[in-house]
């Protein structure tokens, strides 16, 4: 799995740097190409010459160019890599990753990076347990940085506890497993999947609107994960502060009517997933100018129903996707109301979501409801919900393909 893979190895300043020659040897023996960035602190434990000899590639350390025609290392080193590995990862560099600090070549490259980041923490047990370090670990997990270890045992300082950098063989296995899963996650190649996400905004006048509290986070994670499975993903998004997933077609909309138009125009597709929290109502007549308050104590708005996007796609005739999935955000009678929605909309699955405690959380507890089954999932990170749902979709399409 490592043959012809490019790994950018960042070596920071810890005594565990003595394990780096063995780590490089194990990676290169499997056909992996290694480039190294060495921090100034790291150079106290291993030299650029040794790393260059081991990798047969230049070792990078300087942030600023000696020649204006030189490449921008912090950009091209991450772009040519398939994965970045920080080993050893000291408390200092973990803090930099967590807080977006970019004050040397290593930290600037990590901030300018668009590839998966693995870290192999290495530090004293009390440094590892320190509240600040644990806060930083939580932050980097939210950034989808993947930690390998640390392990418990006798530390270089003579104390015993967590903080040992994982052994080179363990690190290599993590990396191999990552590339193995990446290879497996191309099973949706050839399938187009449309995902709607975020809220809609229905204008009251040119400066006011009706909307809801949807963050768009779950829909964005689903779109991102399906893309990793190899699907051609179209994300139709209402206004949100979420970062747009890379390598995905994004269609930005505001109103329900715009979202419906975009959804129908993107058909046909294999799958349609309606994650968006679409406003049920819109103002019937929107004035051209801002409504002035003057001395009015109240204002009457005449509302009219918005188009039902999920129902329209479910009943799209020959353009109907093979699998139509709706999301149901409920504050009470979650299962009952979601089963009614499944029947009324004519979709295949409903992902029932209890939002009685509000929107915008990083976790979700959902039920997958079909005509013949209800599958209750435990409370999961939204990224885990996205992964499990993507796997279900993959299994459905595979069975359907085998049946034909």
> What domains, with CATH codes, occur in the chain?
6-184 (3.40.50.1950), 192-286+296-403 (3.40.50.10300)
- pLDDT one-digit tens code per residue, 60-82: 988 765 544 455 666 768 788 88
Q: Catalytic residue, from 32, 36, 157, 312: name it.
A: 157
pLDDT at 14: 87
- pLDDT one-digit tens code per residue, 266-282: 999 999 999 999 999 99
Q: How far apart are CA 11 and CA 369, in angstroms?
A: 48
Q: How far apart are CA 324 and CA 388, in angstroms?
A: 17
Cα-based distances in Å from 313 to 82, 117, 259, 272: 38, 39, 12, 8
- Residue 242: how many CB atoms within 10 A of its CB? 15
Per-residue pLDDT averaged across 125-136, rounded?
93
Q: How far apart are CA 349 and CA 338, in angstroms?
A: 10
Positive or negative: CA dihedral 156, 162, 163, 166 = positive
In the predicted model, is pLDDT for residue 155 greater than 80?
no
pLDDT at 167: 93
Per-residue pLDDT averaged across 327-335, rounded?
87
Task: Answer whether 381's CB lies under 8 Å from 142's CB.
Answer: no
- Residue 92: how many CB atoms within 10 A of its CB? 16
pLDDT at 312: 97
Per DSSP (E only), the strands in 285-393 are: 303-305, 323-330, 349-354, 363-364, 366-369, 374-376, 380-381
Instruction: Tell me, yes or no, if 157 is annotated catalytic.
Output: yes
Three-state SS sequence of 3-65 = CCCEEEEEECCCHHHHHHHHHHHHHHHCCCEEEEEECCCHHHCCCHHHHHHHHCCCEECCCCC
């Amino acid at each position: 799995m490592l043959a012809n893979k490019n790994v950018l190895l960042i070596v920071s300043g810890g005594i565990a740097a003595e394990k780096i020659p063995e780590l490089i040897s194990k990676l290169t023996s499997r056909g992996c190409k290694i480039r190294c960035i060495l921090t100034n602190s790291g150079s106290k434990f291993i030299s650029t010459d040794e790393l260059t000899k081991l990798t047969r590639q230049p070792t990078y350390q300087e942030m600023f160019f000696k020649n204006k025609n030189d490449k921008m290392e912090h950009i091209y080193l991450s772009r040519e890599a398939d994965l970045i590995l920080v080993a050893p990862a000291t408390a200092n560099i973990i803090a930099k990753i967590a807080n977006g600090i970019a004050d040397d070549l290593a930290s600037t490259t990590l901030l300018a990076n668009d590839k998966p980041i693995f870290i192999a923490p290495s530090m004293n047990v009390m440094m590892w347990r320190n509240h600040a370090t644990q806060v930083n670990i939580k932050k980097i997990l939210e950034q989808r940085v993947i930690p390998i270890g640390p392990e418990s045992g006798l530390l270089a300082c003579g104390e015993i506890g967590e903080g040992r950098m994982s052994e080179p063989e363990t690190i290599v296995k993590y990396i191999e497993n990552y590339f193995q899963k990446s290879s497996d996650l191309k099973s949706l190649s050839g399938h187009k999947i449309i995902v709607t996400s975020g809220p809609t905004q229905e204008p009251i006048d040119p400066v006011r609107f009706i909307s809801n509290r949807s963050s768009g986070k779950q829909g964005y994670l689903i779109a991102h994960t399906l893309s990793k499975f190899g699907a051609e993903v179209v994300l139709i998004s209402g206004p949100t502060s979420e970062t747009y997933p890379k390598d995905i077609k994004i269609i930005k909309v505001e109103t329900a009517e715009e979202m419906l138009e975009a959804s129908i125009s993107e058909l046909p597709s294999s799958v349609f997933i309606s994650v968006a929290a679409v406003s049920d109502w819109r103002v019937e007549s929107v004035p051209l100018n801002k409504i002035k308050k003057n001395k009015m104590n109240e204002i009457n708005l005449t509302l009219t129903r918005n188009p039902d996007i999920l129902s329209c796609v479910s009943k799209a005739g020959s353009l109907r996707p093979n699998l139509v999935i709706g999301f149901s955000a409920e504050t009470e009678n979650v299962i009952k109301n979601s089963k009614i929605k499944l029947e009324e909309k004519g979709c295949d699955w409903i992902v029932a979501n209890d939002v009685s405690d509000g929107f915008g959380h990083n976790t979700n507890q959902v039920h997958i409801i079909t005509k013949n089954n209800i599958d209750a999932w435990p409370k999961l990170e939204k990224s885990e919900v996205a992964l499990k749902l993507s796997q279900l979709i993959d299994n459905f399409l595979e069975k359907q393909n085998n049946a034909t």
